[in-house]
Structure 1
Amino acid sequence: MIVHGIVIKNGYVSNLYVGNSLINLYAVFARLDDACKVFDEMSERDVFSWTSLLGGHAKQGEMEKASEIFVMMPVRNMISWTVIISGFLDCGRCIEALVYFHDMLMESHGSLKPNEAVLVCTLSACSHLGALDQGNSIHAYINKNGFTKRSNISTALIDMFAKCGMINSAYRVFHKISRPDVCNYTSMISGFSAHGLGSNTLRVFYQMLAQNIAPNEVTLLGVLTGCSHSGLIEEGSLIFHKMASVWNVAPKVEHYGCCVDLLGRAGYLKTALVIAIKMPLDADIVIWRALLSACRIYKDASLADKIIAYVEQGYFSQFDGSEVLLSNLYASLSKWERVGEVRKLMSQRKNESKSNLGCSWIEVNGVVHDFRVDDQLHPRIVMVRDKLYGVLNTLVLQGNTMLVPHDMGPI
C-alpha cells in the first residue's frame, strides 16, 4: 500500500503494467474491493487486467462474481479459461467446470487449444462426477494431440478411470507409462485400493519400491486402505509400522484410521480400540465409526456402548452417524427396546440441528444427474427408486456378493 501511494505520487497510476500489478497485489491479499477500485480507475485495460481481477475472486471462492467478470471480458485467453474452470473445480462445483470447458471449445471454434492445466482440471471434474463418457472424450483428445507423455495428465487419467469404475482402463494408462513417477504410482495404487483389489495394490506398491521410488503419505494411505478392504492384516500392519522408520513418513490420523479399520474388520476389536485410545494424535470421527462398524459386524454391543460413552464424554457432544450403526447393531441382536431408544435420540437430534446433505452424481448418456438425501425433485425420481429397490433385492437374493474385475493384464 505504501508503494501504491508512491505510484500515485509519481504519476504512474495510469501505467497499464503498474495497474495490472496492483490488481494482482490486492487480489493476492484478498482485498477485492481495492482490486476492483484500481481496475475501475484504469484508463486502459488488457486481458491481463481482467484475468487478474477474475483470478482474485476465484481464489476467494466468489464464483458468481467471477462469472460476471468472465462474461464481461472483451477478450479471453487460455489463462482466463483456466482460472474460471479451476475456480469452479476448487469450490466443488464440478458440473459448472465441465460446462465452461465445453463452452471454451465451442466459443473458440478450435482457435484455443486446452492446455495441460485445463485438461487436468476437467479430468478431475469427471472423476468427481463419475462422468465416464466425457472422460473418454477428453482421453481421445489427449491421445490425438500428443499429451499422453505428461505425468500430470497420466495421473489424472488413471484417477478418472478408476473413479468411474473402469479399473482396467486405468491400468492400461498406467502400463503405457515408460517411467512412472510417485504420482503415477500413487494414483494407480489408490485406484486398486478403492476397488478392493488389495493384492494388486501391493504388487504395484512393491514394483514402485523396486524402482527405488520412495512412497509419500498419500501412497501409503492408499496401500493401507487396500490392505484394510482386502483383509491383508500382516501386510498392512507391517507397512504401517515401517512408515516412519523406513520411509520417513510420520503416520497421520488417516493412517491410524486405516490400521484401526484393518484390525476391526478382522475381529481384533480390543486391539483396535487400544490403538485408537493410545495413538499420539486425537482420533477423529472416522476412526470411531470404523470401530462401531466392526462392533456391528461382530455383534459386540457391550464394546459399542463403551465406545459411544467414551467418545461423547471426551470428544464429541453429538457423535454424528453413530446412532445409525448402534441401531443396526441392536437390531441384529434383537434388542428392540434399545433400538427404540436410539431411534428416538436420532429423531431428537435431527430436529435440533441441520446436517449437510450428502450428494451423489451419475452420468447417463453424457448428462450428469445429481441427487441429495431424501431428494424428491428429480423428474424421474419414482423410476430411479423403483430401479434401486430392484437392484437391492437382487443383491440380497445373491448374498450381497461383490464382483471384482479379473482381467488385470500382466500385473
Structure 2
Amino acid sequence: MRFLSWRKAKHLTVIKPKCRICYSSTATFAAVFQDKIHITRKELCKLLHQRPPKSQLKQIHAQILTQELSSTASIVNSLIHCYLHIKEVTSARFLFLHHPLSSPPILIWNLMIRVYCKLQNSSESFSLFRQLLNLDHPIRVLPDEYTFTFIVTSCAHQKSFVHGKIVHGLVVRNGLESNLYVGNSLINMYSVFKITDDAYKVFDRIADRDVFSWTSLICGYANNGEMYQACEIFYKMPVRNDVSWAVIISGFAGNGRYMEVLLYLNEMLGSVEDKVRPNEAVLVCALSACANLGALEQGNWIHAYIKRNEIRDSSNMSTALIDMYAKCGRIDIARLIFNRIPRPDVHNFTSMISGLSYHGLGDHALTVFNRMLDANVNPNEVTIIGMLNACSHSGLVEEGSSIFYNMENLWGIKPQIEHYGCYVDLLGRAGYMEKALGVVKNMHIKPDIVIWRALLSACRIHRNIFLGNSIINFIQKLNSDGPSGSEVLLSNMYASLGNWEKVSEVRNAMGQRKTQSDIGCSWIEVQQKVNLYRDDGFFNCMSLPVYQIERGMEGCSVELNLMSSVSFSAFLFRYAFASFQESMDVSSSFSLTTGTSMPLSGFDLPKFLWSRTSGRAG
C-alpha cells in the first residue's frame, strides 16, 4: 500500500494568503459593450475585477491596447490576475516581463512565483526568485513572508536540499524564521527531506504555532518511520482535528503497524476532548489495516459505521472495501460492492482484479479485465501486476504472456522490475524454466535479487537442483552479505528432495554469517479482538495461554526427540485439545505452531485469518 500524505487527507495545505483581490460590481460585460463603444478606465477595472472568462478577457485586453492603457500599472496588474485565474500562464508571464514598472510590486512577484509553485515548475519559480533578489533599482522590492512561503514549497516539490538550505538561510537573514507561514513551509520541506531534527528546530522557533504546524511535524516523523516521536508530538497538541488524527493513523498504516491503526481509531471514536469523527482518509486506512490483519469482523463494523453515518461512497472508499473483503476471504461481498459501483474507475477495477488474483480466480480476473477495456478504462501499472499474478496463480500462461508483451504497445506502460518479476514467476510456476531464464537475461533493466528469487522459487517447485545452485551462486555474488531469503528457498528445495545433508550445509552457512530468517507472525481474530503471535516469543495478553503451552511442549519435544515438525505439531494438538477442549485460545495455538492454515475437519477452530511465515524451511 502506498504511504498516505496528510495533505491529501483533506486537501490540506499550508496557510497561504489570498493574493487575488475580488470586488463586487454592478457593471456587466455585455451591458458595457452594448451601450458604449468607448469604455472608461474605471469601467475596465470593474470588469477585470469580475474575473471574466477567456473570450471576454481577450476583448477587454484588446480595448486596453486600443485605448493605450497598457502603460497603466494597475490595469496590467489586474490583467495578470485575470490571466492567472483562467490558467493562461503564458499571457500572464508576457505581461509580467513587459510590465510598465521596471520593478513590479511584490504582490505581482508573489503571484507569478506562486503559480509556478502550484504547477510544480520549480525551475521557473527559482528563476523568478533570483531575478527578484538581483533587482538593481533605486526602489528595491524585497521578498516578504509570502514570497518565502511559496519558494520554500517549490524546494519541497523539487526535493532540492541544496536550494532548500540556501532559502532557509535567506529566511533567517530576513528574520522570518518565526513567522507562521514560512515556518510551516520549512517544517514541511524538511519533512519531505526526512530531516526531522531540522524540522523540529524550526517548529521550536515558531512563536504562535497553529494546528498545521503540529500536524506538519507529526507528518514528518511518520514519513521517516519515527512513530514514537510522532505520537509524542501528537499527544502534546493543544487542539487536534480530524486531519491530525488522519496523519497519525495513516503514519501507522504506512509503516505496517496495523494493530495501532485500529487502536487509534478506537481512541478517536471515544475521544471526548477532540469531538471529531473519522474522515474518509482515516476510514480508508482502517479498512486497509483490517485487510492486512484479516480482521473481518472489525472491517464489517467499519463498513456498518460508514453506512450508518451516511458517509459519501467515494472511489477510494469503494476500493478499500473491495480490498478488505477480498483479503479477509469474502470475495463474494467484494464482488457485490464492485458490481454496485455505477462507473468503476481504474482503482476499483484494479482492486477487484487483485482480489480475484488473491483467491486464485484467474478466469474471473480476466473477465473483469476485459470489462475494464470495454468500458474504455485504461489499466495502470498496478492493474497489469494484478493480472500477471492472476494468470500466474491460475496457470494462464498464454493470456499472461499476451498481456505482458502488449502492455507497452496497447496501453503505453513500459515493463518495470515488478512486471518482470510477476512474468518470471508465471513462467516458472508453469514449468517453463528455460523461457523464464531467457526473459531474465534479455531484460532491458538490470535484474535485482527479487527476480532471481522468483526463478529460484520455481526451481524449488520443479526440483531443478542444477539451475537452483547456479542462481544461488549468482545471488551471492550480487550480495556478499548472503541474502537469507534466497538461502531459505534453496534449503526448502533440498528438503523437498529429502537431501537433509544439504539442508544442514545451507543452514550452517547461514549461521556462520549470522543471517536470520524473517520472523514468522500471525494475527488471529477471536471474539472481535485481533491478537498478534510471533514465533520469536512475542505475545500479547490474549496469547499467554498459547505461549505457555508452546514453551511447555518444547521441553517435551526435547525429551521425546520429536525432530519432525509435523510429529511435534500433532503431539502439541493432542495435548492441547485434551487439556483445553473448551478454550478458543488453545485451539488456535495449533494453527499458530504448525505454521499452516489448512482447516481440520471435525473441530471448531477459530478462523486462521493471516499468516506470514517467510523463511521457514520445509
TM-score by length of 1: 0.85
In the other structure, the counterpart of 2:445 is 281
Cα deviation for residue 396 of structure 1 reads: 10
User: Is residue 74 of structure 1 aligned with residue 238 of structure 2?
Assistant: yes
Return the letter of the residue paired with 1:142.
I
Return the letter of the residue paired with 2:528.
G
- Measure, in 2, the Cα distance between the counterparts of 1:27 and 1:331: 48
User: Is residue 182 of structure 1 aligned with residue 346 of structure 2?
Assistant: yes
Measured against aligned partners, the alpha-carbon deviations of 1:26-85 in whole angstroms (never above 9, x if no partner) come to 544545444434444444333333323333322322221221111121211111111111
User: Is residue 300 of structure 1 aligned with residue 461 of structure 2?
Assistant: no
SS in 2 for 1:321: helix
Aligned pair count reads 391
Cα deviation for residue 228 of structure 1 reads: 0.6
In the other structure, the counterpart of 2:287 is 123
Return the letter of the residue paired with 2:532.
D
Return the letter of the residue paired with 2:590.
D
In the other structure, the counterpart of 2:52 is none
Cα deviation for residue 218 of structure 1 reads: 0.5
- Measure, in 1, the Cα distance between the counterparts of 2:326 and 2:212: 37
Cα deviation for residue 322 of structure 1 reads: 3.6
| Counterpart pick for 1:222 among 358, 365, 386 | 386
User: Is residue 160 of structure 1 aligned with residue 324 of structure 2?
Assistant: yes
Identify the range of structure 1 (104-113 vs 387-396) with the bigger mean alpha-carbon deviation.
Answer: 387-396
Distance 1:44 1:285, change over 3 A: closer
Distance 1:119 1:390, change over 3 A: closer
In the other structure, the counterpart of 1:250 is 414
Measured against aligned partners, the alpha-carbon deviations of 1:112-131 in whole angstroms (never above 9, x if no partner) come to 22111111111112122112
Identity %: 52
SS in 2 for 1:251: coil
Pairing of 1:50-129 with structure 2 (within 5 A):
50-108=214-272, 111-129=275-293
Distance 1:231 1:316, change over 3 A: farther
C-alpha RMSD of the superposition: 2.9
Distance 1:310 1:62, change over 3 A: closer
SS in 2 for 1:271: helix
| Counterpart pick for 2:510 among 334, 349, 352 | 349
Q: Quick one: higher RCO (CA 8 Å, sep 6+), 1 or 2?
A: 1
Cα deviation for residue 316 of structure 1 reads: 5.9
- Structure of higher CA gyration radius: 2
Contact 2:491 2:506 (8 Å CA) reproduced: no
- Measure, in 2, the Cα distance between the counterparts of 1:98 and 1:45: 29
In the other structure, the counterpart of 1:5 is 172
In the other structure, the counterpart of 1:365 is 527
Identify the range of structure 1 (267-276 vs 364-373) with the bigger mean alpha-carbon deviation.
Answer: 364-373
In the other structure, the counterpart of 2:310 is 146
Cα deviation for residue 101 of structure 1 reads: 1.3
Distance 1:102 1:351, change over 3 A: farther
In the other structure, the counterpart of 1:404 is none
In the other structure, the counterpart of 1:409 is none
Contact 1:39 1:49 (8 Å CA) reproduced: yes
| Counterpart pick for 2:399 among 231, 235, 256 | 235
- Measure, in 2, the Cα distance between the counterparts of 1:73 and 1:185: 40
Contact 1:59 1:87 (8 Å CA) reproduced: yes
Contact 1:260 1:272 (8 Å CA) reproduced: yes
Identify the range of structure 1 (350-359 vs 268-277) with the bigger mean alpha-carbon deviation.
Answer: 350-359
TM-score by length of 2: 0.58
In the other structure, the counterpart of 1:386 is 590
Return the letter of the residue paired with 1:90.
G
- Measure, in 2, the Cα distance between the counterparts of 1:371 and 1:359: 6
- Measure, in 2, the Cα distance between the counterparts of 1:49 and 1:218: 35
- Measure, in 2, the Cα distance between the counterparts of 1:257 and 1:46: 47
Contact 1:61 1:91 (8 Å CA) reproduced: yes
SS in 1 for 2:271: helix
Give unmatched runs, 5+ long, in structure 2: 1-167, 551-585, 602-618
Contact 2:495 2:503 (8 Å CA) reproduced: no
Cα deviation for residue 303 of structure 1 reads: 2.9
Measured against aligned partners, the alpha-carbon deviations of 1:240-291 in whole angstroms (never above 9, x if no partner) come to 1111111111111221222222222222222112222222223333333333
Cα deviation for residue 108 of structure 1 reads: 4.0
